[in-house]
Amino acid sequence: MNTAQLERECRTYTRFLIGQAPTPYVLQHYLDFHQKSDVMEAVKLDRFDQFLVGVSARGPFWARLADSYASVFRKNSTVRKKLVLTLALLECAPPSFETLDRVDGGGPLGAVIRLGWGAAQYALTLIVSFVIFTPVCLGILLSSGRRPVATVER
Amino acid sequence: MDDPIVVVGSGASGVHFALAALRKGRRVLMLDVGYTGQDAVRPSDNLNGLKRNLPDPIGYFLGKRYESLVLPGASGEYYAFPPTKEHVFRPRSEFRFAASGFSPLYSFAAGGLAEAWTGGCYPFNQRELSSFPFAYEELAPYYAKVSAHIGITGADDDMAAVFPLHGGLMEPLELDEHSAVLLNTYERHRSYLNERLGCLIGRARVATLSRDLGDRKQCSYLGRCLWGCPTQAFYTPSITLAQCRTYPEFQYVSGLYVDHFRMDTVGRVRSVVALSSDGQAREFAADSLVLAAGTLCSAKIFLESIYRESGKAPELHGVMDNRQILMPFVNLRMLGRRWNPDSYQYHQVAIAVQMQNTGQYIHGLVTTLKTALIHPLVQTLPFDLGTSASAFRNVHGALGMVNINSPDHRREENYVTLDVGSTPHRLAIHYRPESGETERLKRTISTFRKILWKLGCFAPSHTVHVRPMGASVHYAGTVPMTDKPAPLTSSKHCRSHDVENLYFADGSTFPDLPAKNLTFTLMANATRIAEEAF
């Protein structure tokens, strides 16, 4: 298990999801999950899955791009699983659960405006991610057959 | 009469039978696997207090092995099952099954499946009891007794038309804001909903205390219902089991899986054979035997015993379950509103619909989602996870879920039997939905979406989830009560027509299954059997 890579993922995903750094407690559980579970074992991933995980860990912007793409074209991808794991850890732990529970206010109108703004941003990101990642996906498929060989992380 | 009454299983039926028998001075031996969970932690903390104060909140909420984490592609359900209740569905290797068209759930926990129930207590009315060999008036006193014992809250409102008002009902719990908005909206549109959609809405009946009852304190609104009530305000059968254990005539032996019973030369139950976890067989003499292990486990014991005595494995026809639909919704009036986690978390509102085209009575329970883990739902929103988490914060207080139950009836093509070709023998379950079910479900979904819309709520069609048959765990019907003695049936007092001193105190004997949680009726019926037949 590449601990430094996993820590980088957790830091990036937490900043992407709640705009804060993870606490050492959340970080420790992120590593612990990867030790205990083989769901996200790198040996089981195809190369594009690995690529998405690697790209998403570069920073919140890249995490958003990778996840936008995955939300439509790779719903059960590893990057999405790692993000859901991070969200689950954050919602159970202090102080991040309070951030996730906080309501912005403004009533129904404010909520609808925010939802519309979020949807517009998402649509834009999805288009950009499609332009960037589709050629990569096709390239990987064409260069290594339909089942690309995976590398071993641990 | 030297030997005790042997009761198998400590679920809602078993403990209520045992308590009533003990009160009559009878000696009771209860055999049970009896898995238990962890004790309640920090009982005075509310939900957020737990997140702040526990040394390892992630371990508490997600589990030490992250078993309550719901990853993409992992589940069709909307709730993560809490680790604190993991013991409720822990399997036992001796019980095996092979099922077609049915996804069975069963429990070997002390207290049984109702250790993980949501507390709905809905008495069957006269129409729903029309296939039973007794009238509502005969069951009503037992509903009242059980209600006085476990504590049920509810109101005399529109729902009284379908939920008979029985004795022992406590005043309702405090309403959370979202449920109050739903009921207020119903008041404004009552005539339309009643007349055009055949819909009644009112307070749910739940086994949670709105005032102190004996040693149990009233609900303190800690918001921890999903994780296990830390104060016993919410009723589970383990409370009654503890009460039974205070009687000197009661013996509880746990760690045992009951495999079969043995009969004497005149066809009466002589003894019960149970296996300990190391595979050792133990035999217990019985004056009479009461199977209360749940419809499926009781069927397995019954069939195994018949097979050992006769070499034959009959089919028990008529197994039933309520088909359930989960319908998440957003209340548009609640968008962007703050929500209070310190509130009762299970359903507070009930919906009854008389389907106009099919005549079916359909029962819906409305839960306003507040303290459930959010990650299973957030990942279903059609955005990236960052946008979804942000959007979710502002719709969280507006979210709700209707759990819709359909009735079921005994049909010959649905049966359980013993698969003697495997070692150990397996329970074989065969279930096929009634013809036309798909169309009926479509109409039900359409009607409920219209009802919700009238209440100011939007239920996205793609999030509606028809649960597999077996998911509601309202199993019944394998040894039905009947006035006319016939093989593989039971008497009005749930005594087997095949074995003189064998009784079924669980759902096995129900000849019909209305669209209601049957647990309250199980408890009332088990009390009735003990009081009238023993």
**B385-439 pLDDT tens trace:** 999 999 999 999 999 999 999 999 999 999 999 999 999 999 999 999 999 999 9
Contact B396 A103 (CB under 8 A): yes
What stretch of H or E contains B491?
Answer: none
Q: What is the reported pLDDT for A152?
A: 39
pLDDT tens profile B25-59: 999 999 999 999 988 999 999 999 999 999 999 99
Which of B235, B169, B233, B158 shows the shortest CA–CA distance to B203?
A: B158
Contact A92 B383 (CB under 8 A): no
Across the interface, of B66, B335, B373, the residue whose CB is closest to A91 is B373
Q: Parallel, antiparallel, or unpaired for β B512-513 and B256-263?
A: unpaired
CA dihedral B433, B438, B440, B443 (to 10 degrees): 160
Contact A92 B66 (CB under 8 A): no
Q: Are B299 and B427 in contact (CB under 8 A)?
A: yes
Contact B394 A29 (CB under 8 A): no
Q: What is the reported pLDDT for A144?
A: 72
Q: Counting runs of H as helices and runs of E as strands, what totals does chain B give?
A: 12, 23
CA angle B160, B480, B326 (to 5 degrees): 50
Q: What is the reported pLDDT for B75?
A: 63
**DSSP strand E in B130-181: where?**
152-153, 169-170
Chain A partners within 8 Å of B48 (Cβ): 97-98
Reply yes or no on whether the pLDDT at B532 is more than 70. yes
pLDDT tens profile B383-396: 999 999 999 999 99
Contact B397 A103 (CB under 8 A): yes
Bridge partners for B284 per DSSP: B272
Q: Are B238 and B115 in contact (CB under 8 A)?
A: yes
Contact B384 A68 (CB under 8 A): yes
What number of residues does chain B have?
Answer: 534
Q: Taking phi first (over 0 means left), then psi (-120 to 50 degrees means alpha), and beta for anything else, what does residue A145 get?
A: left
Reply yes or no on whether the pLDDT at A140 is more than 90. no
Chain A partners within 8 Å of B61 (Cβ): 92
Q: Are B396 and B432 in contact (CB under 8 A)?
A: no
**Which residues, at least 6 apart from B214, have a Cβ–Cβ distance to it below 8 Å?**
none
The residue-averaged pLDDT of B318-346 equals 94
The residue-averaged pLDDT of A23-33 equals 98
CA angle B297, B303, B307 (to 5 degrees): 145
Distance from CA of B55 to the nearest CA of A (A): 10
Q: Counting runs of H as helices and runs of E as strands, what totals does chain A give?
A: 7, 0
Across the interface, of A39, A84, A92, the residue whose CB is closest to B51 is A92
Chain A partners within 8 Å of B375 (Cβ): 84, 87-88, 91
Q: What is the overall mean pLDDT for chain B?
A: 95
- Chains A–B, number of C-beta pairs less than 8 Å apart: 139
Q: Taking phi first (over 0 means left), then psi (-120 to 50 degrees means alpha), and beta for anything else, what does residue B247 get?
A: beta
pLDDT tens profile B222-247: 999 999 999 999 999 999 999 999 99
Q: What is the helix, strand, coil percentage profile of chain B, to 5?
A: 30, 20, 50
Distance from CA of A4 to the nearest CA of B (A): 22
Q: Are B86 and B12 in contact (CB under 8 A)?
A: no
- Axis crossing angle, helix A47-56 with helix A60-73, rounded to the nearest 10: 150
Q: What is the reported pLDDT for A153?
A: 35
Rounded-to-integer distance, Cα B14 and Cα A33, Å: 40
Q: Least CA distance to B333: which residue of chain A?
A: A108
Q: Which tokens belong to B241?
A: 């089991």
pLDDT tens profile B92-115: 999 999 999 999 999 999 999 999
Residue B507's φ and ψ, nearest 5 degrees, are -75, -5
Rounded-to-integer distance, Cα B103 and Cα B77, Å: 14
Rounded-to-integer distance, Cα B395 and Cα A106, Å: 12
Q: What is the reported pLDDT for B77?
A: 66
Q: Are B271 and B507 in contact (CB under 8 A)?
A: no
Best residue of B48, B50, B56, B58 to probe chain A, by most A CBs closer than 10 Å: B58
The pLDDT-based confidence of B253 (bands split at 50, 70, 90) is very high
Across the interface, of A37, A94, A111, the residue whose CB is closest to B51 is A94
Q: What is the reported pLDDT for B76?
A: 59
Q: Least CA distance to A61: which residue of chain B?
A: B386
pLDDT tens profile B73-83: 876 566 778 89
Distance from CA of B378 to the nearest CA of A (A): 9
- End-to-end alpha carbon distance in chain A: 5
Across the interface, of A67, A76, A85, the residue whose CB is closest to B69 is A85
Q: Are B123 and B207 in contact (CB under 8 A)?
A: no
Distance from CA of B73 to the nearest CA of A (A): 6
Chain A partners within 8 Å of B378 (Cβ): 84, 87
The residue-averaged pLDDT of B338-365 equals 91
CA dihedral A126, A127, A130, A133 (to 10 degrees): -80
Across the interface, of B72, B382, B384, the residue whose CB is closest to A64 is B384
CA dihedral B483, B486, B489, B491 (to 10 degrees): 30
Omega cis (within 30) before B424: yes
pTM for this structure?
0.94
Distance from CA of B63 to the nearest CA of A (A): 11
Contact B73 A75 (CB under 8 A): yes
- B340 in contact with chain A, both atoms CB, cutoff 8 A: no
Contact A85 B71 (CB under 8 A): yes
Q: Which tokens belong to B361?
A: 């009575």
| CB atoms closer than 10 angstroms to residue B288 | 21
Chain A partners within 8 Å of B394 (Cβ): 103-104, 110-111, 114-115
Best residue of B385, B390, B399 to probe chain A, by most A CBs closer than 10 Å: B385
Rounded-to-integer distance, Cα B227 and Cα B115, Å: 11
Contact A87 B341 (CB under 8 A): no
Omega cis (within 30) before A95: yes
Across the interface, of A81, A104, A108, the residue whose CB is closest to B333 is A108
Which of B374, B361, B297, B408 shows the shortest CA–CA distance to B62?
A: B374
pLDDT tens profile A76-126: 999 999 999 999 999 999 999 999 999 887 888 999 999 999 999 999 999
Residue whose entry in the numeric block shows the structure tokens 């996906």: A137
The pLDDT-based confidence of A149 (bands split at 50, 70, 90) is very low
Contact A106 B336 (CB under 8 A): yes
For B:59-118, CB contacts with A below 8 A are 60-62, 65-66, 69-73
Chain A partners within 8 Å of B52 (Cβ): 94
Distance from CA of B338 to the nearest CA of A (A): 6
Contact A107 B337 (CB under 8 A): yes
In three state form, how does the secondary structure of B168-193 look?
Answer: CEECCCCCCHHHHHHHHHHHHCHHHH
Q: Least CA distance to B49: which residue of chain A?
A: A94
Contact A104 B375 (CB under 8 A): no
**DSSP strand E in B59-149: where?**
96-100
Distance from CA of B345 to the nearest CA of A (A): 16
Contact B375 A101 (CB under 8 A): no
Reply yes or no on whether the pLDDT at B66 is more than 90. yes
The pLDDT-based confidence of A147 (bands split at 50, 70, 90) is low
3-class SS of residue B265:
coil
